[in-house]
Amino acid sequence: MDVTEPDDINLAYDFVVEHLDQNELWAVINNAGIGNVSHIEIVTMSSIEEVFNVNLL
């Protein structure tokens, strides 16, 4: 699942709703995360945006 793609998120939601039946969902654990190990002087803005899109949005 790509957490930056709304369609993937919607498909995951539909899957959970379909398989829960009458049970309750108690928690969702997000384990998505990426990093960029680089000096701030040379890192590109697109790389920074990608990290923020995956980790924070």
Q: State the pLDDT at residue 11.
A: 96
Give how far Cα 18 sits from Cα of 14, 24, 29, Å. Answer: 6, 12, 19
Report pLDDT digits (tens) over 23-52.
Answer: 988 988 877 789 888 898 999 999 999 999
Report pLDDT digits (tens) over 6-18.
Answer: 999 999 999 999 9
Give how far Cα 4 sits from Cα of 23, 24, 27, 33, 41, Å. Answer: 28, 26, 20, 11, 26
Decide if pLDDT at 22 tops 90: no
Residues in the chain: 57
Q: State the pLDDT at residue 2.
A: 85
Q: State the pLDDT at residue 3.
A: 84
Instruction: Please tell me the distance from the alpha carbon of residue 51 to that of residue 21, in angstroms, as a whole number.
Output: 35
